[in-house]
Amino acid sequence: MMEFEAVIGLEIHVELNCATKLFCDCPNNPGDDPNVNTCPVCLWYPGAAPRLSQAALDKAALLCLGLNAEIQSKSAFDQKVYYYPDLPKGYQLSQAHLPLSRGGWIDITDEDGSVKRLRIHHIHMEEDVAKLVHEMEGRNPISLVDFNRAGAPLVEIVTEPDFRTPHHAMEFLKALRTQVRYVGSSECSMENGTMRADANISIRPKGTSQMNTKVEVKNMNSVRHVGDAIAYEITRQSAAVQAGEPVVLHTRLWDPDKKVTLPMRQKFEGPCVPDPSVPPIELSPDEIEALSKRLPEMPATRAERFVNQHGLSAEESTYLSSDPEVAGYFEELLREGVQPRAALHWLTTQLLPAVRQRRQELSQTPVTPARLAALLSMLAKDEINANAARDVLSSMFDSNDAPAEIVKAKGLAQVSDASALEAMIDQVLAAQAAAVADFKNGQSKAAGFLIGQIMQASGGKANPKVIRDMLTRKLSSVSA
């Protein structure tokens, strides 16, 4: 049986998080009540004149730079002609001939652990189209148009056909999302529609370099769907070729419920002609240099720095730096004096799950880095133990009091004073003669049991380290 390999390229639309639309001053809030964010420009009334948003251009250019692409000194908008009710002027303003940037790449970790570079062909700007809503009015089907989205600023990232597996596509999208979030140009959420990916897939006999007819797959609403749809399509095309059926150029939609791709009806699409109403974008080397200086430290560089400066493992560093907010929070904790390992541990295992559980954003949570650092400082000084710290952390979501006040109010201050613990230990030893006997007979597990009993007797406030030391001394003297 012939073995096939897939040749895959992605076309990814990313909605820029600008305050206004691409060519007018309407708010860029597609989710508002239908048709409230409109004007003669984005309704494309006769005489309306588009005016390119500088903020959108800046965000798009930063996005390009963040993906290692080369900004072009001259780019321009074209009219992509097609007639459909979601596009009432008959053409979409897009950069077909002279895109904003060319080239670019993202490195991913392949399934065998090696680094694979996936190249970007170009990145261009374009406006979004209106949203169609299909409903029933009584027994009649009706179609409604919501223009809130018409003219929303987008960039389209077109990759080279470097991808061979669903893993490549999924890892690329995850890395893309991280890097675009880093530069602050978009939230890149496939679930919320601020990132949409289409995949062009073809297959060929493994080991050959031929390029065969591709099939475009749309309607994947999550990174996982992209992987599933590509995997399905590779299997479908391979079976078709094995059966002697030709692969025909067309577009298919991913059905996430049935987990299959299905052929879709084609939109009528025409050519792209230069648009005379929006002047070409010309950026001087100085302007491009100035934009480059606005680029933040990107995730790969940051991860490397975390390894070198803070002694974290490569895996821990990559995880931390994959989200700019998390990485920023981590660095804030370090600035507040928290040790790197403690910061990593409490941020990833305690704070983030608690924030997610409360459906908060890290940037919005009342547990600021300064407050968490104050709590961890008490823990480091043995003023509280870990159990108490977890308890206090939970309370910090509902109270603006300083951690020390919460500790005081809850009576969670750790007891480390030997004289206060002495009597407590003696009482437990007297009451647990059997366990003491077990210890004498060489059962070391009995010590853990006794520590637990002492902690219980202290109401959880005793310092476990001090107890362990004192208990060890006492039992040794008893056995001697």
Partner 1 sequence: MDSTFFYRNPNRTESPAGKLAGMTVAVQSGIGVAGWPMDPGSDALAGFKAPENAAVVERLQQNGAFLAGLSRSSEFGLGLDAESAAGRAIEQKDARAEIMLDLAGEARLAACRSGIWGFKPTWGLVPKVGIAGLIPSMEACGILAGAPEDIRLILSAVAGPDDRDFSQPAFSYADGSPAGIQPDRITLGVVEEAKASLPGDEQKAFDEELAQLQKAGFKVKMLSWPDYGLCGLVHRIVGSVEASSSAGRYDSVRYGKRAPGAKNWNDMYLQSRGAFFKTLLKSYLIQGAYFQFERYDAYENACRIRARLCKEFSRLFEQVDALVFPVQKPDAPETLEGLYDQFKSTAHANVTGCPALTAAPFAAGGPALQFVGALKDDVRILALGIFLSRTATGGKS
Taking the complex as a whole, the smallest distance from the CB of residue 339 to partner 1 amounts, in Å, to 55
List the one residue from 11, 29, 52, 240 that touches partner 1 (CB under 8 A): 52
Burial 148-160 (b: 16+ CB within 10 A, else e): bbbbbbbbbbbbe
Q: Which helix (H) or strand (E) holds 306?
A: helix 299-310
List the one residue from 55, 81, 98, 247 that touches partner 1 (CB under 8 A): 81
Which residue's CB is nearer to partner 1, number 281 or number 372?
Answer: 281
Residue span binding partner 1 (CB under 8 A) among the ranges 40-48, 196-204, 366-374, 455-463 = 40-48
Q: Which two structure tokens, joined as six digits, stand for 473?
A: 């001394």
The rounded distance, in Å, linking the Cα atoms of 343 and 310 is 11
Which residue's CB is nearer to partner 1, number 273 or number 409?
Answer: 273
Q: Report if residue 44 touches partner 1, rule: CB under 8 A.
A: yes
Q: Scan residues 226-255 and list those touching partner 1 (CB under 8 A).
A: none
Backbone angles phi, psi at 110, to 5 degrees: -75, 175
Q: Report if residue 57 touches partner 1, rule: CB under 8 A.
A: no
Contact predicate 152/22, CB 8 Å = yes
Q: Report if residue 90 touches partner 1, rule: CB under 8 A.
A: yes
Q: Report if residue 34 touches partner 1, rule: CB under 8 A.
A: no
Q: Which two structure tokens, joined as six digits, stand for 361?
A: 């954003």
List the one residue from 36, 242, 249, 274 that touches partner 1 (CB under 8 A): 274
Taking the complex as a whole, the smallest distance from the CB of residue 75 to partner 1 amounts, in Å, to 15
Q: Report if residue 280 touches partner 1, rule: CB under 8 A.
A: no
Q: Kindly list the distances between the CA atom of residue 91 and the CA atoms of 94, 134, 275, 280, in Å, as whole numbers in the listed order.
A: 9, 22, 10, 18
Residue span binding partner 1 (CB under 8 A) among the ranges 187-195, 274-282, 343-351, 420-428 = 274-282
Dihedral (C-alpha) 320, 323, 328, 334: value to the nearest 10 degrees?
A: -10
Q: Which helix (H) or strand (E) holds 216?
A: strand 215-220
Backbone angles phi, psi at 293, to 5 degrees: -70, -20
List the one residue from 2, 33, 46, 191 that touches partner 1 (CB under 8 A): 46
Residue span binding partner 1 (CB under 8 A) among the ranges 27-35, 78-86, 202-210, 404-412 = 78-86
List the one residue from 13, 43, 291, 461 that touches partner 1 (CB under 8 A): 43
The rounded distance, in Å, linking the Cα atoms of 282 and 267 is 33
Residues that bind partner 1 (CB under 8 A): 40, 43-52, 79, 81, 83, 85, 88-91, 143, 268, 270-271, 273-274, 276-279
